[in-house]
Chains A and B, each alone.
Chain A
Amino acid sequence: MAVITYIQALRDGIREEMHRDERVFIMGEDVGLYGGAFKVTKGLLEEFGEERVRDTPISEAAIAGAAVGSALTGMRPVAEIMFSDFMTIAMDQIVNQAAKIRYMFGGKAKVPMVLRAPQGSGTGAAAQHSQTLVALFTHIPGLKVVMPSTPYDVKGLIKAAIRDDNPVIFMEHKLLYHTKGEVPEEEYIVPLGKADVKREGEDITIIAGSIMVPRALEAAEKLERKGIEVEVIDPRSLVPFDTETIIESVIKTGRVIIAEDDCKNAGWGAEVAAKIVESEAFDYLDAPIKRLAGLDTPIPYNPNLERAVVPQVEDIVKAVEEMLG
């Protein structure tokens, strides 16, 4: 298997879908000539031409609106928002149009669009370019929300997202872009709504998403040396959500840490914790569920502070050790 970067895998996934289905096209700010702010779409303009790789004006509302409109009329847009923070400008199109139309027309219209954007802190991009806003979208019925953590997953999931007939919010992480991993040459799809057990263990379950997955895995490795077997589960998509895999794991371990890099207050981890407590896994919990999440503050510009506000590997190690006493 080839070892490639997250960006490369993501680009390959989009490219394959563009070859497979001529209705698939890309648009966004600087996605064509410049290849995208993070170079995700680099080379695609040359390969597919201006009709299918479209640079847009600087208006996220327009990008999302055009995506909704073109999806309604039979296209399958993959629109890039340069930073997920700017999705807030497109909120009306996403929440009031994209998410609602299929329902309001009784299923007669569909909105097969993907809105992809990088999220997360760690690059010194300050408060307006570093948020993890994924929880906002999980709250809106009608949207699917995906958050891949590895090159393998990002490729399989972007393909599933493009083929889905519903609007999909596809959240990438800036720090994951240059991580590498094995990706098969042959075609594959990672279905939406299927969690992945990234590492098996008996003592404690860490449910981690996006950038927290590699951090949890690194922590698990450190803990293994101390004789602690950590199970790491990546939900991969938050909507639809694979509750079953998580319940099964919690019943096995009885202890749960949920690791997320967005703010703790009403983050997606809160929803996962609630799902566990509502389930049959409740009777197997042997300690309160712990949420390891960012502080409820905007992301600071100062790199030391920036690092301090979201959970790092050492925070995970510490939390596990505390929980296992």
Chain B
Amino acid sequence: MATIVKMPKLGLTMTEGLITKWIKKEGEQVEKGEPLFEVQTDKVNLEEEAPASGILRKVLCDEGETVPILKPVAIIAEADEELPELENDEGPEEKNDDVNDENYMEDKSVEKTSYIDTVKINKDNVSIGKFGKIKASPAAKRIAKENKVDLYQITGTGENARITAQDVKNYIDKTLKNDNLRISPTAKKIAAEKGISLEDIKLSPGKRVMKSHLMEQIKNNLKSDDEVIEEFPLTGMRKIIADKMKNSVNEAPHFYLTAEVDMTSTISFRKKLNLVIKNDEDKISFNDLLIKVVAKALQNHRIINSRIYENKIQLLKQINIGLAVALDNGLIVPVIKDADKKSLAEIAKESKQLINKARNNKLTPDEISGGTFTISNLGMYDIINFTAIINQPESAILAVGKIQDRPIVTSEKQIEIRPMMNITLSSDHRIIDGAEGAKFLRTVKDILENPLKLLL
């Protein structure tokens, strides 16, 4: 069968090549892979190999002729074979979907000025194997296809010069960084006016830079560069908090319920308790009381003490209350295990130890895991109300505000000043419905307003 030899496309930017020499003459026998002719591009000079074996029956372009890529230059066929008719094929222009107007010309000029930085393309590219086929791993081919990357531009670093996935990724990174990107005229103008570096614009290769990309970039520049005082990496505890909070918000549909609690009784209850406690160190804090009250309330609302595990809702046997503790560089939640089974004195002692350990970075993994419900109290910062993000895998968290004297209307329709405290429950709506959350919150409020119920 006759084989038509065409002007090869030896690089992304090559549009034509100069035939400097025919190594084989018309009528000569050629073997596939033998050098056939020399071609010079704007970058390199190289020998083009015969794509098939046979007789070089016809040379269509003479030495010294400049030929567009993919245009036939010769025919190799058997000695007695009839030669195919050649259409007057000028060779296809490089087609480009998003470039079809006069602006294209302008774009081309942008490309031309950027030749220097592009990868040198020539037959020394050892990743081009027999028959001009590319040697690339399946993964490399997939990534190249997804990103519309021409594998012929890449020299592989794998075994036998195979192009690996990493090679393609590196190439994509590189082409994004160098200015071998296409840009619409308007975008180009804006970039020049506003002094925007095109390097900063992240696009997949092959895409044109449009006005919208630049506007986006301008917006980002305003946000970041001018206003940053200091940068530090998102690592360690910060990273853990970032990931956990992001996952929680993404995964759990949060809803919030707020109740106002009259703390009169709890305050006097605590006062009386602390009167009988001799050691200052053993005194009971509001947080200790809250832990106890919440644990008690959870006993009657098991659905709040739950988690989602492998598509199932699990109501948990243990009631382990976490207490959010602020640190200089973050936040940690030590856990009081079996808080419902512990006395207030035990809770007070344990929470003091845990908070101390937390501040000294001494908590063990066991002491910060296994929580089933979390309390976060920002009252000491004069916060009245806030909404907390659920500490997954738990299904709810209680945000506690400051105890504050407020005028309220009592059940006897009198205005009185009472110490009030707002508590806000964040619940995971996948597990907990509004009414269930509300009932739990009402129980918490009820116990706080009648703390003797703790004894029941």
Contacts and interface: CB of A to CB of B under 8 A. Distances in A.
Task: Please classify how large the interface on chain B is, using the bins under 10, 10 to 19, 20 to 34, 35 or more.
Answer: 10 to 19
A283 B159 contact: no
Contacts of B11: none
Contacts of A286: 137-140, 158, 164-166
Contacts of A285: 137-139
B186 interface: no
Nearest to A322: B159
Contacts of A325: 157-159
Between B138, B141, B157, the greatest number of chain A beta carbons within 10 A of the residue's beta carbon is seen for B138
A282 B142 CA distance: 10
Contacts of A254: 137, 139, 165
A34 interface: no
Interface string A308-325: 000000000000001101
B296 interface: no
Contact of A282 (B138, B157, B158, B162): B138
A287 to B, nearest CB: 6
A283 B142 contact: yes
A286 B138 CA distance: 6
Interface in B300-318: none
Contacts of A103: none
A170 to B, nearest CB: 31
B158 A283 contact: no
A287 B142 contact: no
B139 A284 contact: yes
A283 B139 contact: yes
Nearest to A287: B137
A297 B158 CA distance: 31
Interface in A274-325: 282-287, 322-323, 325
Interface string B131-166: 000000111111000000000000001110010111
A283 B138 CA distance: 5
Contacts of A283: 138-139, 141-142
| Chain B interface, DSSP helix/strand/loop, else mixed | helix
Interface residues of A, number: 10
Nearest to A285: B138
Contacts of A284: 138-139, 142
A15 to B, nearest CB: 33
A254 B164 CA distance: 10
Contacts of B166: 286
Contacts of B157: 325
Nearest to B141: A283
A322 B162 CA distance: 14
Interface string A237-259: 00000000000000000100000
A125 B166 CA distance: 46
Nearest to A254: B139
Contacts of B158: 286-287, 325
Interface in B315-369: none
Nearest to A284: B139
Nearest to B140: A286
A287 B164 CA distance: 7
Nearest to B162: A287
B169 to A, nearest CB: 11
Nearest to B164: A286
B331 to A, nearest CB: 29
Interface string A90-109: 00000000000000000000
Interface string B114-125: 000000000000
A306 to B, nearest CB: 30
Contacts of A287: 137, 158-159, 162, 164
A277 to B, nearest CB: 9
Contacts of B140: 286
A100 to B, nearest CB: 39
Interface string B157-193: 1110010111000000000000000000000000000
Contacts of A282: 138
A304 B177 CA distance: 55
Nearest to B137: A286
B126 to A, nearest CB: 15
A287 B166 CA distance: 11
A160 B164 CA distance: 42
B398 to A, nearest CB: 37
A254 B162 CA distance: 14
Interface string B228-259: 00000000000000000000000000000000
A106 B142 CA distance: 46
Nearest to A283: B142
Most chain B beta carbons < 10 A, residue from A284, A287, A323: A287
A289 to B, nearest CB: 11
Contacts of B141: 283
A282 B137 CA distance: 9
A254 B138 CA distance: 9
22 contacts: A254-B139, A254-B165, A283-B138, A283-B139, A283-B141, A284-B138, A284-B139, A284-B142, A285-B137, A285-B138, A285-B139, A286-B140, A286-B164, A286-B165, A286-B166, A287-B137, A287-B159, A287-B162, A322-B159, A323-B159, A325-B157, A325-B159
Closest 4 CB pairs of A and B: A286-B139, A283-B142, A286-B137, A286-B165
Interface of B: 137-142, 157-159, 162, 164-166
Given A283-B139, A287-B158, 7 more contacts: A284-B138, A286-B137, A286-B138, A286-B139, A287-B137, A287-B162, A287-B164
